[in-house]
Amino acid sequence: MQDRPDNKPDTPPPQDMLPRWDLSALFPGKDSSEFKNALADIDRDVEAFARDWRGKVVKADGTALGAAVARFEKITENIARIETYVSLLRAADNREDAFASKIDDRLRESVQELLFFTLELNKIPEPALLQKIAAPELSAYAPWIGALRASRPHQLDDEAEKYRHLKEGAAEDAWRRLFDLTMQGMRFDVDGKKLTEAETLNIIDNDRDPAKRRAAWESFTKGLGENIGAFALITNTLAALKAAEDTQRGFEKPEDSRHLENHIERDTVTAMSAAVKAAQGKTSHRYYAWKAKKSGVARLHPADRNAPLGDAPQKHIPWDEAKEIVLAAFARLSPEMEKIGRRFFDEGWIDAEPREGKDSGAFSHPSVPSAHPFILLNYFGTPGDVMTLAHELGHGIHQVLAAKQGHLMADTPLTVAETASVFGEMLTFRALLAREEDPAARRAMLAGKIEDMLNTSVRQTAFFTFEQKLHAEYREKGELSPERIGALWRDVTRDSLGPAINMDTPGAENLWAYVPHFIHTPFYVYAYAFGDCLVNALYDSYDKAADKQDFAQKYTALLSAGGSKTHEELLAPFGFDIDNPAFWRKGLGVIEHYIDELFALDQKIERAQKAEQDFKKAGKALTSDKDGANDNAPDKTAEKAFKKASRRKPPAAGVEEVPKPPKPPSAGDAP
């Protein structure tokens, strides 16, 4: 499942009919006999499998072992089908939480009964394994076994692994659920209304009224402040649990287990993170200084950091239009992708309707290969929502393509997991930009895009730094008070965003508390920056490729490979070397180019405005009885003149209109 740090739905009620998903590809209903039978089957299959294989893995020959893995794959896929079903039920309606947990508890026991299999596979000595893997039945699973064996050095003995697995249900998992329950239960007073987290964040990120943004931000940070003790307790407890587990498993640094899971070397991540920090002056610091100046202040209030620029009206984009924009964008890259994408809309794979009790985020759940992925988002009709749709649809298409690899190997390595999603967003952004004729609106879109890029690369890297500091300090000094966590947060944020964002604003110290990633997937955040910079470079290649069809073929092959290849193999056809620092600098250069592009456009607009004012002044002398009451209204003639000057091609020409390579959006964070 791909989820992202923050997401931004909207307040205005949707005007069109928004789809809800149809889960019948998984089960007809939670009370259906199919669902009950599936649960019962799992008990039976797990028991039989354990009876046949427990204690026999090491000695089995390759052919038999290959058959066992296939059987294991089938059972785990059946388990995943039920897990997917209940987790989607819960995401669509949090009143299903207790039911879903009950099922989760039950499945946990089954998974625990199966643990022996992977543990025993890891006990096969390497020479013996190489011999067995000569059998084609087993070699088909070689990539999966390879990934499995990477965790060998950190494995506990069987009983301890089983015990851990059970205990996590009452520990890590339960603390994470407590976080979710707490966030879901909070309501923030804005203009006399009690809003949910998602609604409040949406105002902070998207509302055009600065006073309303400010009010929402203050209410949000105050609400977090009221619960800050609970958030700190959850954070500290999870840090303690992680420290204990890392000690048991022999992981040196808090982030090391994540690197192992991501199949990335610590050094590669360090190189990326250092490159992002080194470029901050030219990216985030430079951009926010400009934005502050534009807003006429020395330092921006945090509530204004993501605020839409200027007074360009934000148009509501109906769902059906969004659908066609996004599908057309995918079609330009590959008709096959467009065809897959259309199924999501036509066959009820998407739940886009915002409603009470539904998850506020956005994700595409891969589900299981024998069904199909499911997309959840909350669509309010902003351009940002269209990009979210494109992002999740990219994931969804990727998941459909990779499903051919089977349940065990469909999961793409993290390094390239964001490829299709970010690609989808970039294509869509260009399409949206091309539709827009008003230069001020175009400037706002570009600025919004840059902010998304900063939120994904600079901001998520700062999140990663914050986590490193937090866990390190916990291990060194023990529990961190809410104030101490707040101080860490403030320092890291100030460093990454630069002096133009006023981090001394009271309440800003509470904003660490709502980031779900710190709770649910510690250290995952760097993956966004990582994936984003990487896909930047990939899109750059696409943009520059002479033979677009050849690129599309390579690209489709990459997505279809799922988890059956390493990232080195996957990226080789494109000539990338991610261990090379120059590579990361190149990716970050894309952001700089965007900023250049924005500044150039801005200067043009300002010049045109100045020309317009001069023109008016001159005109006023002649027709003094005319515009007197309406000085602020833009003069149509001047505007047309400006448009003509600033546009190289008619907007219909589309994506290629802007020469600079594009960039992915989103993954921001809010306040």
Partner 1 sequence: MKNPRNGMLPQKRLQDDFNRARKSANDNAAANDEYLPRWDLAALYKSPDAPELKSDLAQIDKLCDEFVEAYEGTLEWLSGSDLGKALGVYEQIEALRHKVSCYITLMESDDVANFARLGDLNKWFQENGGKIGFFEAELAMMKEQTLMPKLAAPELAAYAPWLAALRAREGQTLPDGIGGLSADFATTSREGWGRFYHETINALRVEWQGEKLSLDDMAEHLSTMTLEERKEGRAAMAAALKAQSARIALCYNAMIRDDLIDNELAGVTRPDAPVNRANRASDETVDTMFDTIKSSYARLSHSFYEWKAQQHGQEVMPRAQVGMKLPGLEDASHEYSFGEAKRLVMKAFRKFSPKFARLAEKVFSAGHIDAEPREGKDTGAFALPTGPGDVPYVMLSFTGSASDVAATLGHELGHAVHQQLAEKACGFFMSDVPTPVAETASIFAEMLVFEELLKTEKDPAVRKKLLVDRLENMLGNGLQQLAYYDFEKRVHDARREGELDAEAISDIWVETQREYYGPSVETDDYDRYYWMTVPHFFDTPFYVYSYAFAQQVVSGLYRSYKTAEAEGADARAEFIENYIGLLESGLTKNLYEMFQPFDLDPESREFWENGLSLAVQYLDELTALDTAVPAARPKGAKAPRAGKK
Shortest Å distance, C-beta 168 to partner 1:
9
**Residue 232 backbone zone (phi > 0: left; psi -120 to 50: alpha; other: beta):** alpha
Cα Rg of the chain, angstroms = 26
Choose which of 36, 56, 59, 106 interacts with partner 1 (CB under 8 A).
106
Choose which of 101, 468, 541, 556 interacts with partner 1 (CB under 8 A).
101
Choose which of 70, 166, 472, 605 interacts with partner 1 (CB under 8 A).
166
How far from 424 is each of 339, 661, 666, CA to CA, in Å?
14, 14, 12
Q: Does 38 bind partner 1 (CB under 8 A)?
A: no
Q: Does 160 bind partner 1 (CB under 8 A)?
A: yes
Q: Does 172 bind partner 1 (CB under 8 A)?
A: yes
Residue range at the interface with partner 1 (CB under 8 A); choices 98-106, 333-341, 444-452, 522-530: 98-106
Task: Provide the strand spans (E) within 39-158.
Answer: none
User: Where in 190-229 is the site for partner 1 (CB under 8 A)?
Assistant: 229
How far from 367 is each of 53, 87, 520, CA to CA, in Å?
27, 10, 19
Which residue number, 156 or 289, has a Cβ lying nearer to partner 1?
A: 156
Sign of CA dihedral 458, 464, 465, 467: positive
Q: Does 250 bind partner 1 (CB under 8 A)?
A: no
Q: Does 150 bind partner 1 (CB under 8 A)?
A: no
Which residue number, 230 or 605, has a Cβ lying nearer to partner 1?
A: 230
Which residue blocks in 436-560 are alpha helix, DSSP H? 439-454, 460-477, 482-497, 516-520, 526-544, 548-560
Shortest Å distance, C-beta 477 to partner 1:
7
Residue range at the interface with partner 1 (CB under 8 A); choices 102-110, 285-293, 428-436, 537-545: 102-110
Q: Does 163 bind partner 1 (CB under 8 A)?
A: yes
Which residue number, 279 or 485, has a Cβ lying nearer to partner 1?
A: 485
Which residue number, 146 or 478, has a Cβ lying nearer to partner 1?
A: 478
Q: Does 253 bind partner 1 (CB under 8 A)?
A: no
What is the spatial distance between Cα 503 and Cα 495, in angstroms, rounded to a whole number? 10
Q: How many residues bind partner 1 (CB under 8 A)?
A: 42
Choose which of 338, 411, 479, 635 interacts with partner 1 (CB under 8 A).
479
Q: Are 199 and 187 in contact (CB under 8 A)?
A: no
Q: Does 248 bind partner 1 (CB under 8 A)?
A: yes
Shortest Å distance, C-beta 163 to partner 1:
5
What is the spatial distance between Cα 388 and Cα 2, in angstroms, rounded to a whole number? 12
First vs last C-alpha separation in the chain:
25
Provide the 8-state DSSP code for 458. I
Name residue 2's beta-bridge partners: 364
What is the spatial distance between Cα 558 and Cα 518, in angstroms, rounded to a whole number? 30
What is the spatial distance between Cα 670 and Cα 200, in angstroms, rounded to a whole number? 10
Choose which of 36, 56, 102, 640 interacts with partner 1 (CB under 8 A).
102
Residue range at the interface with partner 1 (CB under 8 A); choices 178-186, 488-496, 521-529, 535-543: 178-186
Burial of 611 (0-12, 13-18, 19+ CB in 10 A): middle
Q: How many CA atoms lie within 13 A of 397 on its CB side?
A: 34
Q: Does 510 bind partner 1 (CB under 8 A)?
A: no
Choose which of 48, 244, 572, 600 interacts with partner 1 (CB under 8 A).
244
Residues that bind partner 1 (CB under 8 A): 97-98, 101-102, 105-106, 156-157, 159-160, 163-164, 166-167, 169-172, 174-175, 177-178, 181-182, 185, 229-230, 232-233, 236-237, 240-241, 244-245, 248, 477-482
